[in-house]
Chain A
Amino acid sequence: MTMKQVKSYFLILLFSATIFSCSDDDTPINTDKDSGENPEDPSEVESRYIVAATPNALEGVADYLLALESLNSGEISLVGNGVEQDGTYRYYIKNNNKFFSLLYGQGNPGAVTTYQLNATGKLDMISDFQAETVQSFTNMDDEILMTKISRNSTNPFASWYRLDTKTSQLIGEGQINTQEIIDNDELAFFTWMTQVGDRVYAPFMSVKACCNDSFGTNYPDQAWIAVYSYPEMELQTIIEDDRTSFIGRYFTSGLGVVESGDIYAFSSSVATNNGEANSIKPSAITRIKAGEEVFDDSYFFNLEEASNGYYMTQQTYIGNGAFLLNMSPVATKGAYTTGKRLAIVNVYDKSLIWVEGLPAESAIKNITGQNNYVEDDIVHIGVTTEAGSYIYQIDATNAKATKGIEVQGGTITAISKLEIEN
């Protein structure tokens, strides 16, 4: 071999070595790696908590579902754990012991994926099907009613879909002209829908649906609830009130039905026009008595007064008149804020007690608002601070919060519970 040849072989070797001596640490080939979820014998516990978490990362993000035996202590990491879903921006609802994951997909199909617990306590995807991207979904007995709502005055129709939770298929659909619901030049935009008896109560806000200010309104000081029959979805009546701004808010439930059948309506008072808050009404709770189709004039619970300057952003019903409210200072009002201070409110005696034992309001980066899990006067909520993400247990009887399991690497977006299917 000549010197030149030796040199050339050497150079080839050198290049190959320097460039390709990289480890193949993350090849997407499935290995039989243990999912790492709580390893105890599954037969002892007949249910699992389902925790949805979204990674603490920017871009390339999918949401993960964890099936956990207990939420009260310990830690679990998203690294190597959790069922990976196809993308983020997912919303969850439980029905018929199934966990439904709805994709809010811009440009993607509004896919719905259904999960169940198998005999070993792990989540199995049992079905997925194509739906639409919707802005409201609610349980109607064994069905889920999903509604896609127009924000565009050129196309003023809301489409609703009935999902049969036994077969995971759509079994009906229809449209509602949202221009015709209110007698003004704006559209009705349902904030959420709630089952009340065998009917659907759909509070809405009035929106301009045009003019670079889709969600702005010139009618900020009025509350409406449209009442529909089910499953026909025919408009029965509209219940109105001018003591508050609209009930609920975008993508947020503003109704709670208590044991007696009375309905409590929550207004955040976050109407805007061109980005500026424009309602003069306070954040408050009003009531519709069971069986009646008017607001109860005798009931008004001014939350801003009771909390000394806070408004409510989301509500979770616990039982016996007690609600957990996410609260935020009126001075920094926002239409999409999630309140970082929690209060237990009893609508019967109009009491408000601040929850103790949570990190300071300023330290909280993220907190769950709607997808909390309630069992026996305890509410499980997800809280993220600089120190990490934890599930807290809030005892409604004394408004005390206790720190539970740490979920490493992600922000908790929903908490639920399923029974093991045998």
Chain B
Amino acid sequence: MNKRYLLTICFSLISIWFIPMLAQEKSIQIYGKITDQNGVPVSGATFSIAGKTTGVISDNKGVYYLKTNLTGSQKINVSFIGYKTYTETISLEEAKSYELDIVLEKGYNLSEVMIIGKNKIQEIEALAYNVDVIDATKLKNSTLDVAHALDRASGIRMRESGGVGSRMSLSMNGFRGNQVKIFIDGIPMDNFGSAFQLNNIPINLAERIEIYKGVVPVGLGADALGGAINIVTNTYEKDRLDLSYSYGSFNTHRTNVEMTKIFKNDIVVNINAFQNYSDNDYKVNVDVADVNTGAYSRNQEVRRFHDQYHNETFIGNLGVINKPYADRLLFGITLGQVYNEIQTAQRLVRVFGQRHSKSNIIMPTLKYQKKDLFVKGFDASINANYNLGKEQVIDTVNRRYDWYGNYKELGNGNPGGEQSFTYSKFQNNNGLVNASFDYKIDEYQKLSLSNVFTSFDRKQENLLDPEENNYNQPRKSFKNVLGLGYQIEQKDWSATVFVKNYNQVNNFIQSYRESGSNDLIEIERHNRINNFGGGIAGTYFIEDNIQLKASYEKSYRLPTGNELFGDGNITLEGNTNLKPESSHNYNFGIAYSFMLRYDHRFRIDGTLFYRDAKDFIRPGFNTHQVLQTMENLKDVTNLGGELQINYTYKNLLAGVNLTYENLRNNTKYVKGTESLVYRDRIPNIPYFYGNGNLTYNFSNIMNTGNQLSLGYNLLYVHAFYLFWPSYGTANTKHGIPEQWSHDFTATYMMDHFSFTLEIRNILDKNLYDNFSLQKPGRSFTGKIRYTF
């Protein structure tokens, strides 16, 4: 793609929105101090102008500062948990400053207000589940995608094979890949194909990310073995524009446009569009094989030359809000495409120069929400979508490449591929209907019912051999997960119990031509899975600032379409005999927050967890060892813990999280013989890792009201072995060494603009998530964001 062309578009887009805004700089400033009746500063109090949603929060000294364009008589509100809301009407004139000190009176029972006064994030964290929430609003000025934002959370490791858009897999408390379900606004994302995935969704799309570990609420109705991640997108129900563009090392461009417009009659239009582009031409250290002799030149520093990735995605919604029949009714479409060059095989030494993949997503969606439907207390939410997207793998150039980009033609002009001669296309036709209903029995009790139905209808096409298509009969899978839950909330405790039913029907037709005849014979195969799971969770506040949590779930994960039917014989052969994976998940957690010397705030979260999983679905080779096929392999236990400490002092925020996972092989007998690695540590999974972060905010830089924020992030992953730890002579073992990575971010925020500079991997270390697959070195990125 033409870089200059792209830049021009982005800048012109941004400038179109800017120019009218620049003319408006005649704002009014209101500032002052908020104290209680004893004169003690109240920090965290909200100061706002009635009817406007933009408010400010008082700092640790109780000081607030608000800029506005509103003039004339305005009603102001000041509120904080445990205090009566203060209201006053003041008169404002253009370009003037007002100093207004406010005294708040104590009021209400504190423990009641605790519940009422919580923001959405605190509300979720107060649930009985083992849940973490990432506040994405704080990351919007960064250039992170959702996957990299998750990588900074406790208990989560995101492992990628390279740069932007590379293959990635997420692990949560030792569960990997499909075992962890990803949702967007409560809708399972596993059917979205590669064109709309965590590694290409910018963090700007999200409002917050909820991470449920081990035990998953009924509302997120799906078969998650080890937990679920729910990306909650922005649902601004007011006019809004958010534009951002970033440019960085390795020719990486990212653009994000988000717009909401509300018309008369409560018609709403919402558009989200984003783009990622990168050449990913970072340097790697590799043994370079000669294309003729195969001999290696050791440890050469070479640049990646065939690793371009770009995706473009558009999400549009049109509908109505605040109608008697619907709080929200939106019709939408998600359109997207990905182009991905494949630089290497599973080891860096094997290099490709032409192999690539393409995919797209065309997905109409429907979203419906209504509170108090028919009767008070009965809330309904229904979502539906259908994905017509296609995936393609193209390997049709018969060459062998070396790492310098040199190649030799193979096969004297005969067809062939670099890895295997492939040009295939397939389409999964995934449909989804998700309905959830909540009924509040009374103030304290709630019933929830949720049902998710998904369908899968594989169509595949071998573009090299159209004849082959006669044998690629439709393969279908239908999955239904039904959940029923009951929740009770009391003053200082709450509890929930739930049951889930997992149901799956798989049909596929195998066809072949009988000896000596041209008739196609079809054999229809079926299998059916029906399982019940369930769980219980409870929480108790010993004091307002000490919370205990305990939860348990017997969880199941049903095999996916790809696992059952393969990926069109590119790397994976189907196995229609797969059983679901299952696990007993236990969590116990304590959260404790306290203050030292009035202004040093601490919050400590500790979690112990235990997983006892059976029939893990893992790849093995098929009979010819040509393709991989998924099998129900092993049993695993995992006893581990997580610790998070957060500290704030004035404008300083610091946090540390550490995770330890003791994943042990629980398969005693393999093919009838006792395994010597029974209870050995599961190889090739990071088991001790953590993050540290430090942010300092300079508010009101040189009295301009602008803010500068400096941030530092540290990632640590302990060394781990690629193969079973106990086997083999120590000096011959393969593994991934200890990893330390340092990132730095600086953001300067003005009225509607923010400017960010990011440096990742400051020390330019060789980083690896997967054996031999080196990740990018030091990179610089600049980002500009405009919001209105």
Contacts and interface: CB of A to CB of B under 8 A. Distances in A.
Given A83-B728, A130-B296, A57 B677 contact: yes
B634 interface: yes
B734 A86 contact: yes
B91 interface: no
Contact of B721 (A26, A83, A154): A26
Contacts of B471: 210-212
Given A28-B720, A78-B727, A215-B624, 18 more contacts: A5-B594, A8-B592, A8-B604, A15-B604, A26-B726, A57-B670, A57-B675, A57-B676, A58-B667, A62-B723, A62-B724, A79-B726, A80-B729, A86-B734, A104-B625, A130-B349, A170-B292, A170-B294
Contacts of A129: 289, 293-296
A398 interface: no
Interface residues of B, number: 101
B606 interface: yes
Chain A, interface residues (CB within 8 Å), range: 35 or more
B737 interface: yes
A62 B722 contact: yes
B109 interface: no
B465 A58 contact: no
Interface string A213-255: 1011010000000000000000000000000000000100000
Interface in B72-121: none
Interface of A: 4-5, 7-8, 11-12, 14-16, 18-20, 22, 25-33, 35-36, 55-62, 64, 77-84, 86, 89, 104-109, 111-112, 128-131, 151-155, 157, 159, 168-171, 175, 177, 210-213, 215-216, 218, 250, 273-274, 278, 336, 365-366, 384-386, 388-389, 408-410
A108 B346 contact: yes
Interface in B667-721: 667, 670-677, 680-684, 718-721
Q: Is the interface of A mostly helix, strand, loop or mixed?
A: loop
Interface string B633-677: 110000011110100000000000010101001010011111111
A31 B730 contact: yes
Contact of B730 (A18, A33, A86): A33
A93 B682 CA distance: 31
A84 B289 contact: no
Contacts of B677: 55-57, 409
A408 B676 contact: yes
A106 B625 contact: yes
Contacts of B420: 152
Contacts of B468: 210-211
B311 to A, nearest CB: 23
A107 B295 CA distance: 19
Contact of A89 (B465, B625, B670, B731): B625
Contacts of A388: 673
Contact of B727 (A22, A55, A58): A55
Contacts of B443: none
Contacts of B624: 151, 215, 250
A112 B521 CA distance: 43
Given A12-B604, A175-B411, A210-B467, A152 B421 contact: yes
A1 to B, nearest CB: 10
A216 B624 CA distance: 13
B516 interface: yes
B531 interface: no
A175 B414 CA distance: 10
A250 B465 CA distance: 24
Contact of A107 (B515, B571, B594): B571
B729 A35 contact: yes
Contacts of A216: 512
Contacts of A32: 730-731
Contacts of B516: 218
B10 to A, nearest CB: 37
B396 to A, nearest CB: 10
B602 interface: yes
A59 B467 CA distance: 36
Contacts of A274: 512, 514, 521
Nearest to B570: A107
B625 A84 contact: no
B590 interface: yes
B417 interface: yes
A8 B546 CA distance: 10
A387 to B, nearest CB: 8
B765 interface: no
22 contacts: A11-B590, A22-B662, A27-B718, A32-B730, A33-B729, A56-B671, A58-B634, A59-B619, A78-B676, A80-B729, A84-B723, A86-B347, A111-B347, A112-B294, A152-B421, A155-B417, A169-B294, A177-B414, A218-B515, A365-B671, A408-B676, A409-B675
Interface in B504-527: 510-516, 521
B596 A5 contact: yes
A56 B670 contact: yes
B732 interface: yes
B415 interface: yes
Contact of A169 (B293, B625, B729, B736): B293
A59 B631 CA distance: 10
B626 A19 contact: no
A111 B345 CA distance: 12
Given A15-B604, A129-B294, A408-B676, A28 B733 contact: yes
Contacts of A14: 606
Contacts of A171: 293
A34 to B, nearest CB: 8
B289 A365 contact: no
Interface string B750-772: 00000000000000000000000
Contacts of A27: 718-719
B262 interface: no
Contacts of B510: 212
A154 B590 contact: no
B670 A78 contact: no
A84 B727 contact: yes
A30 B731 contact: yes
B511 A153 contact: no
B623 interface: yes
Max chain B CB contacts within 10 Å: which of A57, A79, A386?
Answer: A57
B628 A106 contact: yes
B602 A8 contact: yes
Max chain A CB contacts within 10 Å: which of B521, B667, B723, B725?
Answer: B723
A186 to B, nearest CB: 12
B673 A60 contact: no
Given A12-B645, A129-B289, A170-B294, A58 B604 contact: no
B735 A154 contact: no
A8 B594 contact: yes
Contact of B722 (A36, A60, A336): A60
